[in-house]
Amino acid sequence: MARPVTLFTGQWADLGIETMCQKAADFGYDGLELACWGDHFEVDKADEAYCNGRRELLEKSDLQLFSISAHLVGQAVCDNIDARHEAILPPYVWGDGEPEGVRQRAAEELKKTAAAAARLGVDVVNGFTGSSIWHLLYSFPPTPDSMIDDGFADFGRRFKPILDDFQKHGVKFALEVHPTEIAFDIASAERAIEAVDGHPAFGFNYDPSHLGYQGVDYVEFIYRFPDRIFHAHMKDVGWSASPTEAGVFGGHVAFGDRRRFWDFRSLGRGNIDFEEIIRALNRINYQGPLSVEWEDGGMDREHGAEEACAFVKDVDFEPSDAAFDAAFAE
């Protein structure tokens, strides 16, 4: 049986949850990955009755639910907090904006999210972690190893208690490996695992789009962490075959600007090789959903979301349960 294809609602938070359910069903999706912003899933309201109501709402549209996502709150756990964070955080997490207070409230909110996920009946929360050392990406002035070590230690110190809470509730945290996070490629993902002492509740929301344009082997990522792929995003990105005005760092130009070296694309219209991704996911026996995170600044999103659903259902396939030449062994 092919894996269910779901739609991540993070880029659709301007729509109410009932509208979102109806559109996703009309587009052909099997389920939703609910974002913990907008009114899609509100952690501060998520008692038993609220969670039951969300389940019933999805069931009315014949939609399944496998995960929720807490990217925005997670970003604030380890980040160097500044004015940008106020726009992405609930007021009760932002509070007075004092950086350490924000980080601590964000950590408590993630713990509450794990409990809410358990009440909702899902066992994966996708999200971000933030990073105290992202600004040290380019090592000039020369960055001593001790500063990087301190950043990973800070991540471990802040996240291990969170992960303990996740484990207590039978829920896993799936970091979306992504620029600005503590892990943004294979090498940093390995260090992140080490920083939390290999905690069993810590793994990844696999997303090839954030790896490909960096030059990271996004298929090898699957093979490197087969037991820690807790969830998978299907998202495409295109990058130029020739030099551009704004390179891999983006040139401080907006998404959609033609001067960029890379930009997100509707699925099947970029450079990502989804055939190899599906084969790799089959080899590691990944049984979870394929969740479309749709972004393309040059395309109407409803058109894009519908074509993306069809694309993923077409590219996915079950692995063989026998060698192709098994008949000759008789």
pLDDT digits (tens, 9 = 90+) for 159-177: 999 999 999 999 999 999 9
pLDDT (0 to 100) of residue 118: 98
The pLDDT confidence band at residue 25, using thresholds 50, 70 and 90, is very high
Whether cis (ω within 30° of 0) applies to the bond prior to 141 is yes
The CATH H-level superfamily of 5-329 is Divalent-metal-dependent TIM barrel enzymes (3.20.20.150)
Nearest to residue 229, comparing CAs of 106, 71, 67? 67
Q: Has residue 326 got a pLDDT over 70?
A: no
Q: Has residue 1 got a pLDDT over 70?
A: no
If you average pLDDT over residues 90-95, what whole number do you get? 98
Percent of the chain scoring above 70 in pLDDT: 97
The pLDDT confidence band at residue 152, using thresholds 50, 70 and 90, is very high
pLDDT (0 to 100) of residue 137: 96
What is the four-CA torsion angle of 264, 265, 267, 273, rounded to 10 degrees? -70
Rounded Cα gap, residues 80 and 93, in angstroms: 15
CA distances from 195 to 16, 96, 158, 198, 259 (A): 38, 30, 10, 7, 38
If you average pLDDT over residues 100-108, what whole number do you get? 98
Rounded Cα gap, residues 92 and 81, in angstroms: 15
Reported pTM: 0.96
pLDDT (0 to 100) of residue 330: 60
pLDDT (0 to 100) of residue 324: 60
